């Protein structure tokens, strides 16, 4: 068990980096996912097709392949994902600014992959809004954009919170894959280093890494349970 104490800084640093990755990817996924969801329900057919194609592709391919594409495809496109080096952001999330692009690639892959699931969660929320609401909005002459903005989305948001939360939890768990794709120093990469390079015993390292992930996933899960239960009571 001494490895937990001796290498506490490694675990803490790994947790911090994974946490940063999750925050950035979750933000990106929510933005892209909302956009795709709006595209999927828009009156313009080509936009609908793009939205549907996006969701079909990203929901059905393993995250591993998306990661591979980010790691091999983006360089082939001549991009080092430098557009993520946003001036203010790099001072908080220092990994975004460094020359090695793998952290940025991981953020992009995770965000794009999760966005498809975010889109589906939001769409399920929109479907849960009673049709009468949208009909009433149309009857008083709101356009599609106004209808979404003032009537449908604010209500869809409410019933989408719980599915969105499960999507984010799944994303946190998926972020463990980043350590196997060149991101140095996150939780799963630290686990590999400690066990294979430094030859530390496996079980304590496993416990340490598990705690790192459970600290993020379990409270979020409990929070979701509570929201869900409170809503069930309110609905009754």
Partner 1 sequence: MSQQQTVLYDAPGPRARRVTLIVSLLAVVGIAVVGYFLVYRPLDENGQFTMEKWGPLIDPNNEVFSLVWARLREGFIATLTAAGLAIVSSLIFGTALAVLRIQLKTLKQRQFVGLPTPAAWSLRGLGWVLNAVTRFCVEIFRGLPVVITIFFVASALPDLGVDLGDILWYLVIGLTIYNGVVIGEILRSGMEGLPGGQREAAQAVGLTSFQTTRMILLPQAFRIMLPALISQLIVVLKDTSLGFIISYEEVLRVSRFIIDNLENPIQVYAVVGAIYILVNYLLSKLAEYAQRRMARARKTRALPTQAAPPSVMAQADSSAAAS
Q: Which residues bind partner 1 (CB under 8 A)?
A: 41, 43-47, 50, 56-57, 59-65, 68-69, 72-73, 76-79, 123, 126-127, 131, 134-135, 138, 143-144, 147-148, 152, 169, 172-177, 180, 187-188, 191-192, 195, 201-203, 206, 209-210, 213-214, 217-218, 221
- When the beta carbons of 100 and 203 are compared against partner 1, the nearer one is 203
Q: How far is the CB of 91 from partner 1 (least distance, A)?
A: 28
Helix axes 102-128 and 153-174, enclosed angle (nearest 10): 140
Residues 23/106, Cβ–Cβ less than 8 Å = no
- When the beta carbons of 77 and 233 are compared against partner 1, the nearer one is 77
Q: How far is the CB of 8 from partner 1 (least distance, A)?
A: 19
- When the beta carbons of 115 and 209 are compared against partner 1, the nearer one is 209
Residues 95/103, Cβ–Cβ less than 8 Å = yes
CA–CA dist 41, 31 (Å, integer):
16
Q: How far is the CB of 99 from partner 1 (least distance, A)?
A: 20
Q: Which of 115, 190, 114, 122 is nearest to 152 (CA)?
A: 122
CA–CA dist 90, 85 (Å, integer):
6
- When the beta carbons of 74 and 90 are compared against partner 1, the nearer one is 74
Q: How far is the CB of 122 from partner 1 (least distance, A)?
A: 12
CA–CA dist 133, 65 (Å, integer):
41
């Amino acid at each position: 068990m001494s490895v937990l104490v001796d290498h506490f800084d490694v675990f803490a640093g790994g947790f911090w980096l994974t946490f940063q990755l999750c925050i950035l990817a979750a933000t990106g996924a929510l933005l892209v996912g909302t956009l795709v969801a709006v595209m999927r329900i828009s009156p313009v057919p080509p936009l609908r097709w793009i939205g549907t194609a996006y969701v079909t592709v990203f929901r059905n391919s393993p995250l591993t392949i998306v990661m591979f594409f980010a790691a091999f495809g983006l360089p082939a496109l001549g991009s080092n994902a430098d557009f993520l080096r946003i001036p203010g952001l790099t001072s908080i999330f220092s990994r975004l600014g460094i020359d090695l692009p793998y952290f940025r690639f991981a953020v992009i892959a995770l965000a794009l992959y999760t966005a498809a699931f975010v889109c589906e969660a939001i769409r399920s929320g929109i479907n849960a809004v009673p049709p009468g609401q949208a009909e009433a909005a149309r009857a008083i002459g709101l356009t599609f954009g106004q209808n979404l903005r003032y009537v449908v989305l604010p209500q869809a948001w409410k019933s989408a919170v719980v599915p969105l939360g499960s999507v984010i939890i799944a994303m946190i768990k998926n972020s463990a894959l980043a350590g196997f794709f060149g991101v140095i120093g996150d939780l799963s990469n630290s686990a590999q280093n400690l066990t294979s390079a430094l030859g530390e015993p496996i079980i304590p390292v496993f416990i340490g890494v598990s705690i790192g992930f459970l600290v993020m996933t379990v409270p979020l899960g409990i929070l979701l349970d509570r929201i869900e239960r409170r809503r069930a009571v309110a609905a009754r």
